[in-house]
Amino acid sequence: MKTSFLFRCINEACGREFELSQKIYQCPACADLLDIIQVGKVLDPIRTKKTLRKRRLSMDSLNVSGVWRYREFLPFTKKEWKHVVTLGEGNNPVLEAPRSARYIGLKQLKVKHLGWNPSGSFKDYGMTVAVTQARKLGCRAVACASTGNTSASMAAYCARTDMKAVVFIPEGQIAYGKLAQALDYGAKTLQIKGNFDAAMELVRDLSGKHDLYLMNSVNPFRLEGQKTVMLELFDQLDWRIPDRIVVPGGNLGNSSSYGKVLYELKQMGFIEKVPRITVIQASGADPLYRTLVTSSRELVPVQDAWTLASAIKIGRPISWKKAVRALQFTDGWCDVVNEQEIADAKAVLGLDGIGCEPASATTVAGLKKLFHISRTTLPEVTIDPDEDVVAVLTGHQLKDPEYTVNYHLNNLYEHAVYENVVVEKARKLQSTYANAPIPVEADPEAILRLLEL
């Protein structure tokens, strides 16, 4: 049977299917989220694992990529591989973290560090697939709302094509390490007055009505790419499946994609054991946690989400339904940690020689908290010292170096305004290829005029 791919609405009461050639992100019938499903040939686990291992020795660009090496799991046929846009992403290491393990109370801890990607975060796993789809569709411009990592990744991959990258960022709420990347890679960067959620609402509205292809995680192709993190991890572990996988919770694309691929692998017979997904959020940006503990059937948003871990400072995560589905399937859990717990966990990871951005450190902070929860009152939540745990670190340390320096200089505050003041200057350099961010009101018509769309 010939293999084909389709969009399918995740709402079981709807369940409608659509062709991938359509430029859609949500179900046109009920506006719920979409999955990409594979119809046709089922992969043989033994043969496929041997093929994947053999590809690790190949220098072909598709095999060098830690995403496209697993292309049988991605929604593209062989004739469509010519559209692939790759920067050699993936191949991120699994590292032992003994000091962090002792800090938590575990006998051992592994970390999968996705910050070693070309743009320094996990976003590259999904962006290579989403930009490839945009190229296949013949798109002229792509757009995203971002707290930093998405914009950096999208800009980098678009720089490898002839597509225009348009970034919507919340004014004054993005780390310089991330903003610098979007500017350097040539993206048109618009500073929107408001928070991430306001920027997200704006870009979704514009992409639905105009020639902008949306690249946030509501785009199912993003999650298809991100699910290869689990394929790469299991391949690196020689398919010895861990007990638990811990991941930060922001827009919830990662936990959603991991749950999806774990379900697919279980259905196809690649794995027998399913690891428990544990999502950790910052206490000031914890909509998933609030939704779960109140047993709400609708998202409980955080109106003014706040955390110094800017990558997860999101109050209305797009993928929350898929994340709930992932936790239900894997018998997982969601919890929260405060700013002090995040900062200390980040410093402890540093003592293992493993630098990461603040959002990544929520995983170690969350593990420590769950380890010390009473085994008498909440036995289903607590972590056993012998568990085989993999913590996913999502971003590089140099994404937000000011945070690290301020912590170690005893100058880190939950709320503060820091100023960089030039006290002496001489021999100014010309910004010959300058690409400054553009402050703009959250006005769709003004933005369209600016972008000439």
The tens digit of pLDDT for each residue in 333-376 reads 999 999 999 999 999 999 999 999 999 999 999 999 999 886 66
- Domain check: are 248 and 358 in the same one? yes
Cα 417 to Cα 176: distance, rounded to the nearest angstrom:
14
The tens digit of pLDDT for each residue in 78-111 reads 999 999 999 999 999 999 999 999 999 999 999 9
Whether residue 81 is contained in a domain is answered as: no
Please report where in the chains the tokens 């402890």 appear, as a residue.
Answer: 348
Domain that holds residue 111: 94-118+222-408
**Model pLDDT, residue 443:** 78
- Domain check: are 31 and 98 in the same one? no
**Model pLDDT, residue 57:** 94
CATH number, residue 226 = 3.40.50.1100
- Domain check: are 14 and 114 in the same one? no
**Model pLDDT, residue 273:** 96
Residues of the chain with pLDDT under 50: 1
- Domain check: are 334 and 226 in the same one? yes
Whether residue 426 is contained in a domain is answered as: no
- Domain check: are 378 and 293 in the same one? yes
Stated as kind and residue range, the H or E segment containing 440 is strand 438-440
Whether residue 136 is contained in a domain is answered as: no
Cα 56 to Cα 64: distance, rounded to the nearest angstrom:
7
Cα 147 to Cα 196: distance, rounded to the nearest angstrom:
7
In angstroms, the first-to-last Cα distance of the chain is: 42
- Domain check: are 261 and 356 in the same one? yes
Whether residue 344 is contained in a domain is answered as: yes
The contacts of residue 243 (CB under 8 Å, 6+ apart) are: 275, 276, 387, 388, 389
Q: Show the tokens assigned to 128.
A: 């290579």
Whether residue 64 is contained in a domain is answered as: no
- Domain check: are 320 and 241 in the same one? yes
CB atoms within 10 A of CB 374: 9
- Domain check: are 98 and 31 in the same one? no
Cα 24 to Cα 217: distance, rounded to the nearest angstrom:
13
**Model pLDDT, residue 448:** 80
- Domain check: are 303 and 241 in the same one? yes
**Model pLDDT, residue 2:** 61
- Domain check: are 30 and 110 in the same one? no
- Domain check: are 7 and 110 in the same one? no
Count how many domains the chain has.
Answer: 2
**Model pLDDT, residue 241:** 98
Whether residue 107 is contained in a domain is answered as: yes
**Model pLDDT, residue 146:** 84
Whether residue 162 is contained in a domain is answered as: no
Whether residue 82 is contained in a domain is answered as: no
Beta-strand relationship, 94-96 and 110-113: antiparallel
Q: Which amino acid is present at 17? A: E
- Phi, psi angles (nearest 5°) of residue 285: -145, 70
- Domain check: are 34 and 103 in the same one? no
Task: Specify the pTM.
Answer: 0.93
**Model pLDDT, residue 453:** 65
**Model pLDDT, residue 214:** 94
Query: 60-79: buried (b, 16+ CB within 10 Å) or exposed (e) per residue?
Result: eeebbbbbbbbbebbbbeee
